[in-house]
Amino acid sequence: MVVTVRHALGQYDVHIEAGLLATLPALLDRAMPARRRVVISDETVAREFEAPIRASAPLLLTIPPGEHSKTRSAWARLSDEMLSSGLGRDTGVVAFGGGVTGDLAGFVAATYLRGVPYAQVPTTLLAMVDASVGGKVGVDTRFGKNLIGAFHPPAVVVADPETLRTLPAEEFRAGLAETVKHGLIGDAAYFDWIESALARIQARDPATLTRLIQRSVEIKALVVSEDERESGRRETLNAGHTVAHALEHVTQYSLAHGEAVALGLVAECRLAARMGVAPAALADRVAGLLHALGLPVELPRGLAAGALLQAMRMDKKNRGGEIRMALPASLGAMHRAGPAWSVPVPCELLESELGERD
């Protein structure tokens, strides 16, 4: 099945089907014709998927796995290696792996010789349902996550659910947190379906995962097609992430992204209730589904509330020194204040919700 994502300069297709890696070279030829291809992957993924990677491109560049590789120094090294290999503007980059690889490889493609096309081949659930779609690429800095980057839509996304069979449980749950977010922000019936399909999802039933990926991609595609550069509705895709990115930053990324998103979704639902824009029962329902999926719903002890607030002050949605969040109004709908999809949240309310964690 194919989901089409539209953007200012055209559109690209997201292919979702078990067994697609067997046809990957043909899909890349069609999306990036007459291109000399280079694959960027992490070392673990490169070993596991050696055969389809070798079939896709003559050159493979790797990074160590994990968020700590998504840096400006890694971007510089990869760019220099491509330059030293003599790759010109007829190059096509293939991001083969999870969200870190996709963000970093996409940023390399966005900036290499002022921009070359790239393809996303996500191998984690998180990357399939979220990171590979939308064209946001970039790197982290010591000030926060994704603060240096660009909007650079891929030429194609190829998502093969069979790659999820051996995905570690923690990484699989990370993607599930994003699917819950998609139901929360845009489709109550999808949220209901996730609740009803828990056993099949956790068993990684191929047909169920295909449907899960497809619906999440459809929801995200609808939003990013309407707001490519995050000037309006696209902010709703950041639900849960203001708190999540702060949690990741203050824990130096020892907290997994999916766990941080789960905690952020619950915290921001509670904040929405306290601000009077959402019913109190919403946070309980969201927490119930996240807990059933094996994700945490209560902030860990030992965190400094002040450090979390300081990290939130670097969030890209902020304006005029105010911490802004995209908050839910009800299951499947986000709060909107006039034209704005994010609202300022008082620091005293944040401190109260986050609690004393010094």
The verdict on whether 114 is a catalytic residue reads yes
Annotated catalytic residue within 215, 218, 228, 238: 238
2-164: CATH topology is Rossmann fold (3.40.50)
The verdict on whether 257 is a catalytic residue reads yes
Q: Which CATH number fits domain 169-354: 1.20.1250.20, 3.30.465.10, 3.40.50.10490, 1.20.1090.10?
A: 1.20.1090.10
Annotated catalytic residue within 178, 228, 235, 259: 178
Nearest alpha-carbon partner for 5 in 13, 83, 75: 13
The verdict on whether 230 is a catalytic residue reads yes
For CA atoms 100, 135, 12, 239, the dihedral sign is positive
Q: Write out the residue limits of the CATH 1.20.1090.10 domain(s) in the chain.
A: 169-354
pLDDT for res 358: 43
Residue carrying the six token digits 């994502």: 5
Annotated catalytic residue within 173, 215, 234, 317: 234
Residue 173 corresponds to which tokens in the numbers above? Answer: 């749950």
The verdict on whether 146 is a catalytic residue reads no
Instruction: Please count the other Cβ atoms lying within 10 Å of the Cβ belonging to residue 48.
Output: 16
Exposed/middle/buried for residue 148 (C-beta within 10 Å: 0-12, 13-18, 19+): middle
Annotated catalytic residue within 15, 70, 136, 173: 136
Annotated catalytic residue within 114, 142, 301, 348: 114
pTM: 0.92
The verdict on whether 145 is a catalytic residue reads no
pLDDT for res 318: 80
Annotated catalytic residue within 215, 257, 324, 335: 257
Say if CB 90 and CB 35 are below 8 A apart: yes
For residue 33, which phi and psi values (nearest 5 degrees)? -65, 145
For CA atoms 15, 102, 43, 254, the dihedral sign is negative
Annotated catalytic residue within 152, 182, 211, 220: 220
Element (DSSP H or E) covering residue 183: helix 169-186
The verdict on whether 178 is a catalytic residue reads yes
Annotated catalytic residue within 233, 245, 270, 324: 245
Q: Write out the residue limits of the CATH 3.40.50.1970 domain(s) in the chain.
A: 2-164
pLDDT in tens, the chain (358 residues): 899 998 887 899 999 999 999 999 999 999 999 899 999 999 999 999 999 999 999 999 999 999 999 999 999 999 999 999 999 999 999 999 999 999 999 999 999 999 999 999 999 999 999 999 999 999 999 988 899 999 999 999 999 999 999 899 999 999 999 999 999 999 999 999 999 999 999 999 999 999 999 999 999 999 998 887 777 899 999 999 999 999 998 998 889 899 999 999 999 999 999 999 999 999 999 999 999 999 999 988 878 888 899 899 888 778 778 899 999 999 999 999 888 899 999 999 998 888 654 4
The verdict on whether 238 is a catalytic residue reads yes
Annotated catalytic residue within 35, 70, 145, 241: 241
The verdict on whether 335 is a catalytic residue reads no
Residue carrying the six token digits 């697609």: 20
Q: Is 187 left (phi over 0), alpha (psi -120 to 50) or beta?
A: beta
CA distance 15 to 13: 6
Q: From residue 199, how far is each of 123, 205, 219, 356 by CA, in Å?
A: 22, 9, 23, 37
Say if CB 123 and CB 41 are below 8 A apart: no
